[in-house]
Structure 1
Amino acid sequence: MFDNLRRRTGLLYPIVSAMGVALLVMTLSRAGLALWQSDRVTAAEGWSTLFLSGLRVDLSALSYLFILPALVTVLFAGSGTVGRRILQCLRLFLVVALWFVVFMELATPSFILEYDVRPNRLFYEYLNYPQEVFGMLWSGYKLELFIGFVVSNLTLWLAWVWSGNWIENLKTPRWYWRPLLALLVVIIGVGGARSSLGHRPLNPALVAYTTDPLMNDLVLNSAYSMAFALKQAESEDSAFDYYPNMGRQEIIRRVRAAVSLDSSEFVSGAFPTLANHRASFRGKPKNLVILLQESLGARYVGGLGGLPLTPNLDKLIEQGWNFNRMYATGTRSVRGIEAVTTGFSPTPARAVVKLNDSQRNFFSIADLLRSHGYHTQFIYGGESHFDNMKSFFLGNGFVDMQDFPTFEPLNFKGAWGASDEDLYIKAHQQFTKLHDEGKPFFSLVFTSSNHSPFDYPKGRIQPYNQPDQTRENAAKYSDWALGQFMTKARESEYWKDTLFLVVADHDSRTYGDKLVPISHFRIPAVIVGEGIEPRQDDRLASQVDLAPTLLSLMGISDQHPMIGHDLTREVPRQKLRAMMQFYKNFAWMNEDNEVVIYTPERQAMGFRYDPETSCLTPMALPREMERTALANALWGSLAYYQGLYPGVEKQARVARQESGAKLPQGLAAP
């Protein structure tokens, strides 16, 4: 059989053989993943679709992968010196290509366990931080590393042996047949890659068939999934590429109307959301500390009806201003940082922490508070360059980076750096020092112990479950460290002058069979400090509401472009909302738990969300709500690409231009 195939395919035999092996690997991997997730596949009624559409995607991916080497082979490979060199290069390419396909499928189960999708942009972004990632893998994934090492080496060996056989004794066509073969390769390759006669080539949206994101991802293969993410990253995803279009003026009008401000408060023609915000607190401005909790969804917080892992946070929930219906804007730490420190609404693109055009002159509360004379700092037990945090922070108002190299001595070092107890010891030292120096300060303190592989020192807590290194035990340890810090803070001199926000960046492992698994976006958020009365706030709220609320509580009145609500004031019920970005899907939920969801290249879908069962029941929604949701889904991309979210310096520059004032010498126009 193989000799007959070799005879019929000639120079293309090595590529046809490699494509066959790769197709087998992808199919077997998809079958294994489908059996693993069989309940969800059955619920989505997707067994036939999964494999038929999966075959289409696999053939498209392999066409992209092999079209160029196939073209070069039929044109130049042969028995001569150059031809033999071409075949040797082809052999190397086939080995690497097969290894890549196997490696990506091998990495898929662990990635699904963590993110409930196939490897995507997150996968290759983590490759930018080999030290942190390898430390995490070595600490918590030794078995996976061993299996990966063995299978990768076995793949390289087999591919090398097989490819050596494939390139031997090939039938070489006469020269006049080569252009025709090349044309045939292009036609078949391009047709296979496009996999469609329509205007657009095959893309994930064309093979999506269910509201369960993982099931749609299983149709793909992991090499295609990551390659597509890389392609999209080149143009920094825009909401306008995915959702229905809307005119600029309507977007601005609807976004402004959704903010709880009088239209007279908006102050700039250049920056549509720049407005005057008057603080509700009239006393001496307070310090601000944001304690950003890694991966702490509401389901891990006893005080919010979750697991009994957070007795110290539960006490704060009883003692402070607690938001019972607070929702994160996304599923990554950088998205949480984006919402909490800049108030920027989420988009399908990466968070602004990582985007090129937001590294300078982009609004953040650090920049605003620095203009009010505050010392602004970031305290983190790991390396602050991770996820581009250091670059973004230093370019947008933070002046003091207190990260792992500044920690000494340590009680415990984990895969991500200093433990949370060391982090809080450092924070307490910094706040005491700044208070003694008479400096008002803003500090963002970011925990890391509640992150895979869940390293923490023994003897601090009674483990909730076994083995010791579980998400639940890490959450319990992180809460223990928080309790130790809050005890010291209450006894400190800086307590009476400082406002504290304890908030999660996102839930851990946001997953589910919904277009947007809303229950996994609910997070804890509580404000404590001198003068903060106990309050259980049941209003619907979003992470983007926190920064305006904190500035108001601190006593900072100023102009800023944030569209979040100041929750110290009465907000009209019809304006309460939460916005959530789940990969490329955008959800807008109102106070009545009515939800509009926009997905790529589709019209709006309406649902009613049941917080008790986490179910989304389809329903018709008013067109006005759909249009307001769309405007807010598009606003972030519009603001980013058109520079409408300015830092303090840029605000001042443009204000002088708008007023006709002459710019100081050397100050360039924006």
Structure 2
Amino acid sequence: MLFPKRHSLLKTFAITFLFFAILIRVCLYFFSIKLIDFSILNFIKIFAIGFFYDIGSLTYFLALYVVYLLIIPAKLHGSKLDKIITNFAYGLFLFVIIFSFLAEIPFWQEYQRRFNFIAVDYLLYTYEVVENIHQTFPIPLLIGVIFLILFLSIRYAKHKNAYNNTFQNSDSFKAKLIPSSIIITILILFHFNIKNTQAEVFDNVNENELAKSGLYSFFAAYKSNELNFKDFYQTIDSSENYTILRNKITAENDSLLSDSKDIIRFTRNNGKEQKPNVIFIGLESLNARFMPSFSNNENWAIAIDSLANKSIFFTNLFATGTRTIRGMEAITLAIPPTPGRSIVKRKSNHNLFTIGEIFKQKGYTRTFMYGGDGHFDNMTNYFSYNGFDIIDRKKSHRINTKLPTKRTRIEDNEVTFENAWAACDGDLYNKLLKYADQQHKTKQPFFNFVMTSSNHQPYTFPKGVINSDENTRENAIKYTDKTFKEFFEKAKTKPWFKNTVFVVMADHCCYSAGRTEINVENHHIPAYIFNLKNEKPRQIDKLSSQIDIFPTLFGYLNWSYENKLFGKDISKMSLEEERAFVGNHRKVGLLKPNKLLILDTQKQHTTYYWNKEKNKLTKTKTDSILLKETIAYYQSAYELFKNGGLKIASEK
């Protein structure tokens, strides 16, 4: 017999694990039925590949217990110590798998993905995650469901006499050796030879994700949060790489200041320099299609749209990624997204040449303002060690007294409503108004980077502000829109308003997953510059990226400055220069007016023809020039960050 009596509980656990793994895959499959290309063959392949990965994931749990079973002599079978260890381990492992399987459902509903690097990041922020779960699902009910399933699973094991058989036997070492060897061999082979990406055999990203195991995906993401570009992606010769890059990012009004592998240059803009205050407002998860200007029938963001039409409105601009910190990286560093985690969360991200350095050159104060605890996603450290003062809702146990810049707390008496993530947008805007009043008195121009949060799950907001109190995405956007309108109504009464320029842009879109590897439509975001002197409102339809907004603002202000930015002035772009950068954790792409080239791991790439009107991507032949251009952008971004090329010159 392959499994002796001593392994009865182990066998029962394996059956329970595989049952839940298959059940969750079935649930996720039906959740995604509208997003997949259904066929009987693909259905069979998804579940066959999925079962293979489930077996591999299972062995990680079994190996721990099978070693214990192997080394404990027969005379100790059923002893008090044996029962304590076995009962504890079985209950703990069951709890872990039940919790993780249940957690996959809301994670999938939010991201249409198995656990990935986002789940790894969230694990580090227990307070925010637990509070978010609590505000999305009733915690007592959730715990009750987990313990009910746990209870039923243990009852099933007892019904199969698994406990009695495990404790009441005299199986020898030899009898236990065969199953133990098989399990450990499978684990070793799986661990050292199988990669998560090998499950991706479908053209449809949702089918690829369904074929994976959530638990295995989690640990694969943990191991690969930083990807070595040269190990995983196609590269080109270093000298050719920088030749291409320098040619692509250098505008007519730029002068390169180095002939080495660097991008430092001097940007000259003619005319008298203007130095208004600048307030950047980052709109959490706001898709362009939520606005009437983009033919949206729901009209959720009316006030945001109304102001856009009184501004320099960039109607064809795309977010680089699918998370807030990816947007922050793009906006502050004006850099394409490097594979893996955002630079905001990486080591060696201090003293970088951000847009804040240019504001510093022009005599501005710089402040990052967020309604939550900036400890989350390393935002406080990133902004502070790059020269920004911090205003946030810091928790007392997370105060970093060694920060190089000033940190101010949004006090309890300044908060009328907050959820797991942050104080509501209305409270944040009120703090901004109060702080801007103080800044105005100093007579020094200020740059404030403000990040909102109310349009984020669990979509909670103060009651009575809009017509409905139901916690839905639609209502969260309507609340975001109303507080945005109220902020500008108040701001217009302030003495600093006439001399303040507002840059408004989303950090990324919601619903960032889709049918294809990268859903282009779900990177399309609103962006505009409001209250510029001597500039009439107009729409600019050039294809552009988040990384271009501040170089464009600096052009309108007639600033001349040294910089290391990849971004370009959109107002000066020619048709040939139009492009945008889009990516997720592993795949990065260069978007042209009718093409998208995606770089993927295993040194692969794919080129698509992009039909913008239908948001349809069709595979097409790769243009070698476009391929080299794409590689040059991303290879250079990776290299410059790793070798210190993005540091302030004196800090390299």
SS in 1 for 2:167: coil
- Aligned match for 2:27, one of 28, 32, 36: 32
**What is the CA deviation profile of residues 145-185 of structure 1, one whole-angstrom value per residue up to 9, with x for unaligned ones?**
4453123223444555636345222342257x777776555
Structure 2 distance, partners of 1:484, 1:497, is 19
Q: Which amino acid aligns with 1:421?
A: G
Q: Which amino acid aligns with 2:302?
A: P
Structure 2 distance, partners of 1:504, 1:564, is 17
Match of 1:613 in 2: 614
- 1:599 correspondence with 2:634: no
Q: Which amino acid aligns with 1:542?
A: S
- Aligned match for 1:452, one of 454, 457, 471: 457
- 1:543 correspondence with 2:538: no
Q: CA deviation at 1:119?
A: 2.0
Structure 1 distance, partners of 2:471, 2:179, is 58
CA contact (8 A) 1:118 1:214 kept: no
Q: Which amino acid aligns with 1:167?
A: T
- Aligned match for 1:51, one of 41, 47, 54: 47
CA contact (8 A) 2:62 2:183 kept: no
CA contact (8 A) 1:91 1:160 kept: no
CA contact (8 A) 1:11 1:77 kept: no
Q: Which amino acid aligns with 1:290?
A: F
* Cα distance change of structure 1 residues 402 and 19 upon mapping to structure 2, 3 Å threshold: closer
CA contact (8 A) 1:565 1:571 kept: yes
Match of 1:633 in 2: 634
**What is the CA deviation profile of residues 499-542 of structure 1, one whole-angstrom value per residue up to 9, with x for unaligned ones?**
21010001112121111010010000000114132121010000
SS in 2 for 1:613: coil
- 1:387 correspondence with 2:381: no
Structure 1 distance, partners of 2:147, 2:520, is 41
- Aligned match for 2:410, one of 406, 411, 428: 406
TM-score, structure 1 normalization: 0.87
Q: CA deviation at 1:88?
A: 4.5
SS in 1 for 2:94: helix
Q: Which amino acid aligns with 2:72?
A: F
Q: Which amino acid aligns with 1:35?
A: F
Q: Which runs of 4+ in 1 moved over 6 A?
A: 81-84, 177-181
Q: Which amino acid aligns with 2:424?
A: S
- 1:317 correspondence with 2:312: no
SS in 1 for 2:541: strand
Q: Which amino acid aligns with 1:589?
A: L
Match of 1:152 in 2: 146
- Aligned match for 2:238, one of 214, 234, 248: 248
Match of 1:106 in 2: 102
Structure 1 distance, partners of 2:499, 2:183, is 72
CA contact (8 A) 1:354 1:392 kept: yes
Structure 1 distance, partners of 2:66, 2:45, is 30
TM-score, structure 2 normalization: 0.90
CA contact (8 A) 2:590 2:597 kept: yes
SS in 1 for 2:4: helix
- Aligned match for 1:341, one of 332, 346, 363: 332
Match of 1:507 in 2: 509
Q: Which amino acid aligns with 1:18?
A: F
SS in 2 for 1:605: strand
- 1:18 correspondence with 2:13: yes
**What is the CA deviation profile of residues 337-390 of structure 1, one whole-angstrom value per residue up to 9, with x for unaligned ones?**
1111121210221111111221x1222222332344321112222222222111
* Cα distance change of structure 1 residues 71 and 458 upon mapping to structure 2, 3 Å threshold: closer
Match of 2:650 in 1: 652
1:289-308 pair list within 5 angstroms = 289-306=279-296, 307-308=298-299
- Aligned match for 1:560, one of 560, 563, 573: 563
Identity %: 25
- Aligned match for 2:323, one of 332, 344, 352: 332
Match of 1:498 in 2: 500
Q: Which amino acid aligns with 1:448?
A: S
- 1:65 correspondence with 2:61: yes
* Cα distance change of structure 1 residues 174 and 403 upon mapping to structure 2, 3 Å threshold: closer
Match of 1:197 in 2: none
SS in 1 for 2:345: coil
Q: Which amino acid aligns with 1:540?
A: L
Decide which moves more: 85-94 or 16-25: 85-94
Q: Which amino acid aligns with 1:347?
A: T
Decide which moves more: 328-337 or 115-124: 115-124
1:77-96 pair list within 5 angstroms = 77-80=73-76, 85=81, 88-96=84-92
- Aligned match for 1:351, one of 336, 339, 342: 342
Q: Which amino acid aligns with 1:261?
A: A
Q: CA deviation at 1:441?
A: 0.7
* Cα distance change of structure 1 residues 181 and 597 upon mapping to structure 2, 3 Å threshold: closer
* Cα distance change of structure 1 residues 279 and 431 upon mapping to structure 2, 3 Å threshold: farther
Structure 2 distance, partners of 1:424, 1:91, is 53
Structure 1 distance, partners of 2:379, 2:389, is 13
* Cα distance change of structure 1 residues 16 and 250 upon mapping to structure 2, 3 Å threshold: farther
Structure 1 distance, partners of 2:632, 2:511, is 28
Structure 1 distance, partners of 2:102, 2:178, is 38
* Cα distance change of structure 1 residues 77 and 105 upon mapping to structure 2, 3 Å threshold: farther
SS in 1 for 2:505: strand
Q: CA deviation at 1:82?
A: 11
Structure 2 distance, partners of 1:371, 1:59, is 58
Structure 2 distance, partners of 1:533, 1:357, is 42
Match of 2:405 in 1: none
Match of 1:659 in 2: none
Gaps of 5+ in 2: 395-408
Structure 1 distance, partners of 2:75, 2:382, is 56
Match of 1:516 in 2: 518
1:207-226 pair list within 5 angstroms = 207-226=199-218
Structure 2 distance, partners of 1:285, 1:622, is 44
Q: CA deviation at 1:550?
A: 2.3
Q: Which amino acid aligns with 1:529?
A: N
Structure 2 distance, partners of 1:329, 1:26, is 33
CA contact (8 A) 1:260 1:575 kept: no
Structure 1 distance, partners of 2:372, 2:484, is 17
* Aligned-residue CA RMSD (Å): 2.6
Structure 1 distance, partners of 2:545, 2:31, is 35
Structure 2 distance, partners of 1:491, 1:537, is 29
Structure 2 distance, partners of 1:385, 1:436, is 30
Q: CA deviation at 1:75?
A: 3.3
CA contact (8 A) 2:262 2:640 kept: no
Q: Which amino acid aligns with 1:496?
A: K
Decide which moves more: 78-87 or 341-350: 78-87
1:135-150 pair list within 5 angstroms = 135-142=131-138, 145-150=139-144
Gaps of 5+ in 1: 195-199, 654-669
